[in-house]
Amino acid sequence: MTTLADLSLEIIDRLLFALDPLDISRVSQTSRFFYEIIYGPLNRQFWRGLYLAQPLDDPRNAVTRLGRHRDDIDWKGELQWIVRARTVMNHPAVCPREERCQVLRTCIDLITNIPPISSPNGVGEMSRNVRWMQRLIGDGAFLERESWEALSEEEEQLLARLHTLYGLTRRDLHSERHRASQAFVYSLRHHTPQRAYGPFMQDGSKRVDWVFLSMFVLDLGMLLVDTDDKDREHYFCPLGLMFSQSIIPRGLNLDKEDDWAGIEGLWSARYGFIDHREFILYNDPSVPDHEPQDTSIFDDADETLATIDIYIRVSGVEPDPCHPMRPKINIVGEVDGKFNIVGFVKLTDDDQVWVHYGAGNDNQMVWNCDGIGLGSIRSQCGFIGVWSTVFHDVEDPIGPFWLQRELLVDEDE
């Protein structure tokens, strides 16, 4: 009588690859023969085949979010955590506290280690990792703080980072969510010298505060989303996973490029603001910091989104000892032919792409902008962050801004 063990290893592998990875461990327990195939000394080839049988990107074709090809693929370990993350995303309550950070990091790694596209018109298919994540996130329940019990600060930052990278969910389209984000964005209490008046942690480290940044993404996202599409089923917002893939022309090695961030060129800058009288009223200095601010003004406040064009040029680079292959890029530019800008692009200590610039006339800087790159390097997501004045006086305005590259599509490609 012929048994499965009598089949060739190639056929057995094909049969096993057709199974859900959760079933593989059960198969390994049926006999020593299958245990050796799955967990034996030659298991790397098996787990590579099993990984590639999933609806995911081939990690050999992917680049990290900073544009480097991977050479450290742990086929077995990574797939096991991906399967675990899938289970937790469907049922967050099953995740023990000691697994939370690793599950969230796995989700973030999946959507930041994806294949690049070679041109703005999207030659090459959308990342399979992105599609996989979109299906699992669904309406966004997994990203809700209420789905998790007593989050630690690290867990809260990871969850907020995943939400920021994902973009708006259907649950975010409620008007009360938008009002809550406005109340955060326009509160001077959140814009402090400890944060360097940017989207950074309060400890002065200039590590990105993803909880802070997530509020800016939500506010700007609601201003950008098509208002006719707020049926929460079919909506379009240009911030999020769909636009997160790196745009790296074929043959370009970012490790050898001064402008590794792709900052030189024409950019569209969108700035959000509210009526300055309402801004001053909301930030009433007579209200002690320990008392809540009156957020009712956002029931009727008219938030406006203004757009200007900025042409940015690279003026030089400086070595960055912490990131030898990603030097600090110094930039200059013009805003609508009226203002000059001076600034830089560099990596933060936690390896996020940070753009900073000031704008003004005759080298007298008045406006200040600090943004963090969304998505992978050189992606269409651009930078999102905070605009303010360089003076940071008590009644000086602040607001969210989004810097998006104006992409020229090669129609012949």
Q: How far apart are CA 75 and CA 72, in angstroms?
A: 9
Helix (H) or strand (E) holding 128: helix 128-137
- Amino acid at site 84: R
Instruction: Name residue, tokens 């042409």.
Output: 311
pLDDT at position 339 is: 74
The yes-or-no verdict on residue 412 having pLDDT over 50 is no
pLDDT at position 125 is: 77
The rounded percent of the chain whose pLDDT value lies above 70 is 93
The yes-or-no verdict on residue 124 having pLDDT over 90 is no
The residue that leads in pLDDT, 139 or 350, is 350
pLDDT at position 409 is: 46
- Amino acid at site 113: N
Q: What is the mean pLDDT of residues 226-235?
A: 60
Tally of residues, the chain: 413
pLDDT at position 234 is: 67
Q: What is the mean pLDDT of residues 60-71?
A: 93
At 300-349, the pLDDT tens digits run 889 999 999 999 999 999 999 999 999 999 999 988 767 799 999 999 99
Q: Give the C-alpha distances (Å, rounded to integers) separating 392 from 388, 396, 398.
A: 7, 6, 9
Q: Are strands 304-318 and 364-373 parallel, antiparallel or unpaired?
A: unpaired
pLDDT band per the 50, 70, 90 thresholds, residue 93: confident
The yes-or-no verdict on residue 165 having pLDDT over 80 is yes
At 268-282, the pLDDT tens digits run 999 999 999 999 999
The yes-or-no verdict on residue 233 having pLDDT over 70 is no
pLDDT at position 315 is: 96
On whether the CB atoms of residues 340 and 316 are closer than 8 A, the answer is: no
End-to-end CA distance of the chain: 58
At 168-210, the pLDDT tens digits run 999 999 889 999 999 999 999 999 999 999 999 999 999 999 9
pTM of the entire predicted model: 0.93
At 4-61, the pLDDT tens digits run 767 788 888 899 999 999 999 899 888 888 899 899 888 899 999 999 999 999 999 9
Long-range contacts of 328-333, Cβ-Cβ distance < 8 Å, separation of 24 or more: 329/258, 329/259, 329/260, 329/261, 329/263, 331/263, 331/264, 331/357, 333/357
At 99-111, the pLDDT tens digits run 999 999 999 999 9
Q: Give the C-alpha distances (Å, rounded to integers) separating 349 from 73, 261, 263.
A: 24, 16, 20
pLDDT at position 411 is: 45
